[in-house]
Structure 1
Amino acid sequence: MKKAAIYAISFLSLCVLLTTCYFVSYRYALHKFERNGTKEDTVKAQSDTGVRNVSSSQSSAVLPDASYVEQVYDMATDKLKEKNENIPNDFVGLTREQIITRLNVYMQNKSLEEYNKGLVSWTLESFSPSKVVVKKTYNSQGILYKYYMVLEDDQVVVYYSDKKTVYDNETGLDAGSLLEDEKRELMYGIWIKDEDELYSVLESYTS
């Protein structure tokens, strides 16, 4: 009789132990499933909105049908304009880092038109494969001079104020026709406000 009781108690204990293990394993698996499901929902929600900050994955590339927003800010007037356009063809397939590099290269080689408009910076504000937002910042009152005159290879050359686009390299003035003070001044280069001042300075050197 004692043996039967011992067997019965042992059997019940084993059943309780197995049931407990099964319950604990089930709860753990359920918790893990719910946690993974929440993460996937969050990622999907972010993807559906099409908005990510600039720190999004560098491996993501811009899609051909991505939306493109260009913000234009003028520091002088403190006004911000925004326009929506089709994504530029040369942006399609680029990653976040590649777009940043392209904007930096553009700033280093900006056109004379952009220079004269006072372009200060062009930055990536937000990035995702489906949406790109960039911002151009201008200072419309930042360009004080239109021309730059300098003595190069014994010739007087006039540049636009970007100091790389030639306005006139045939002024008819050379080092031999200049006074020493004028020559010294032009070796360092002088800034010219506008066309009227430019003609006035050139005339003073020839008189």
Structure 2
Amino acid sequence: MRFFLLNFVLFLMLMPSNSRSESISTVISWGEDPAWIDIASGSEIKVVASDGVSDGCWTNVAQTRDSVAIELQRSGYKINLSDDGYSASRLIISVSGYGIKNQSCAVLYEFLFVTMTVGRDLFSQKHTVMSLRDVELWRKSGIMTGPKKDMSYRIKDEFISLTQRFILEVPQLRKSALKSINDVAGLNKLKDPEAYKFWSNYELK
């Protein structure tokens, strides 16, 4: 995916300016981020766990990360668990916190899904800058307090639950993103009939 995006940017940069205006249509979407359209079953997702917890309040970090990965894999996503390398889409589970008196813990957990997109900044009619940007698509967070002996398992269960919720919401978010594009393309169908035809017939994979 990363190499595809890099090649796409180079393609746009090397394409003659008159060809760009003739062959590329632009639709401005006001709804869900259009990046959702590319997040289909079969996409690769890198799962990352960030441990900012002290005092033994999250002792099963690797097990939690693997459990999240298994949920995604069951739904058809390709999983990347390597410490090096890169994936365009990343699911980051992070926890920060510490132990408090009476063998208890207080933690802040966060579930974040980001993906890389191609950005274009227009500086004049003849000069644009293309860039690769990380876009935050889905985030959930919360606070937990309670006995230290139970905290690691509570964190794990919470991330599994959030992963399942994420998996269930992705199809609807993809449909919503496509609908937003279709709505705008429909409003401009007389001005840009080619874009309207393309998006009207576009099918989510």
Q: How would you bin the TM-score normalised by the shorter chain?
A: under 0.3
Instruction: With a CA cutoff of 8 Å and minimum separation of 6, indicate the structure with the bigger relative contact order.
Output: 2
Q: TM-score with structure 1 length normalisation?
A: 0.24
Q: TM-score with structure 2 length normalisation?
A: 0.24
